[in-house]
């Protein structure tokens, strides 16, 4: 059974010619199996901020030159993507666009508004460009769609057999669960993971019980795992539990520790987006 109706339109962002193949590799079989339409944004970024360090005619020349380089990058990325996608036997479109760094968030969020799912590589890593964290942040916090981040070389499970929900009773975590409901229904095992539960932040009942009851009414039987925090970081506890349960998908809320939502992600969110070994479905 595949999750054919959960995400009719999926989107990804391609911002470097050299990572086109690795970014699309897990998406193509997923789109083919589910019948999803893939919308790929081929993005050229002018990383300079013309007018910030210089002014006048020099700034205008600098802006023209750097925007032309960004345009060339976008077209090269589009060409590489189309060459792969034309052989993939899926429905797709590739749109080339350019932006300066300051407008990156607006471009990503506007394009993500009408996607059912945004699929991106892990934003932190040796082969990722400097724009990758900003792309992921914009998709998560402004795009209105869940984001599936996929480590390099890892397939997207279809369906996911063993899903772990990182649960802390927050609105962000609940949003992620709601977006993942179709996946949860198709899973063989669902585990609600509560790390170091503080009952002041949970319902009076057992932590996770309200979520388990709600899921059961949707036909999803979920176990609850209450895990004391023994390791230094919450992300380490999550990673160990994922290994112990042989999970193939993690569902969790995405949190920004900056009210201004600069590219500053704190706690488990940042750690997992650096070190994850399996796909993570996130929502804000």
| Domain annotation for the chain: domains and CATH numbers | 9-150 (3.40.50.620), 162-283 (3.40.50.620)
Identify the pLDDT of residue 130: 81
Rounded Cα distance between 134 and 257, Å, is 15
Identify the pLDDT of residue 219: 98
Identify the pLDDT of residue 81: 98
What per-residue string of b and e applies to 178-213 under the rule 16 or more CB within 10 Å gives b? ebbbebbbbbebbbbbbbebeeeebeeeebbebbbe
Identify the pLDDT of residue 266: 52
Rounded Cα distance between 50 and 64, Å, is 9
Identify the pLDDT of residue 127: 74
Identify the pLDDT of residue 221: 98
Q: Which residue has the tokens 């995400």?
A: 7
Residues whose CB is less than 8 angstroms from the CB of residue 172 and which lie 6 or more positions away in sequence, other chains included: 253, 254, 255, 283, 284
Q: What are phi and psi of 136, to 5 degrees?
A: -65, -40
Distances (CA, A) of 103 to 156, 207, 251: 30, 41, 29
Question: Taking the chain (284 residues) in consecutive chunks of 10 residues, what is each chunk's mean pLDDT?
Answer: 77 96 97 96 82 40 76 96 97 95 89 95 81 89 92 95 95 95 97 78 73 98 93 86 97 67 55 90 92
Provide DSSP, 138-185.
HHHHHSSS-EEEE-TT-PPPSS-SEEEEE--S-HHHHHHHHHTHHHHH
- β-partners of residue 120 are 149
pTM (2 d.p.): 0.89
């Amino acid at each position: 059974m595949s999750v054919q109706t959960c995400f009719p339109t999926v989107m990804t962002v391609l911002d470097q010619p050299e990572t086109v193949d690795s970014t699309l590799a897990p998406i193509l079989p997923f789109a083919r199996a589910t019948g999803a339409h893939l919308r790929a944004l081929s993005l050229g970024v002018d990383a300079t901020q013309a007018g910030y360090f210089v002014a006048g005619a020099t700034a205008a020349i600098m802006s023209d030159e750097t925007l032309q380089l960004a345009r060339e990058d976008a077209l090269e990325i589009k060409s590489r993507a189309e060459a792969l996608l034309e052989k993939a036997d899926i429905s797709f479109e590739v749109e080339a666009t350019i932006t300066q760094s300051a407008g990156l968030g607006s471009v990503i969020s506007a394009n993500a508004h009408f996607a059912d799912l945004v699929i991106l590589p892990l934003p932190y890593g040796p082969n990722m460009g400097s724009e990758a964290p900003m792309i992921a942040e914009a998709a998560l916090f402004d795009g209105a769609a869940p984001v599936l981040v996929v480590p390099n070389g890892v397939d997207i499970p279809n369906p996911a057999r063993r899903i772990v929900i990182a649960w802390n009773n927050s609105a962000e975590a609940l949003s992620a669960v709601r977006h993942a409901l179709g996946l949860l229904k198709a899973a063989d095992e669902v585990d609600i993971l509560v790390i170091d539960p503080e009952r002041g932040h949970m319902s009076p009942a057992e932590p996770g019980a309200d979520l388990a009851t709600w899921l059961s009414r949707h036909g999803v039987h979920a176990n609850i795992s209450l895990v004391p925090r023994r390791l230094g970081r919450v992300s380490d506890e999550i990673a160990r539990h994922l290994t112990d349960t042989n999970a193939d998908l993690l569902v969790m809320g995405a949190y920004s520790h900056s009210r201004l939502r600069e590219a500053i992600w704190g706690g488990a969110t940042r750690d997992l987006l650096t070190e994850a070994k399996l796909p993570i479905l996130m929502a804000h």
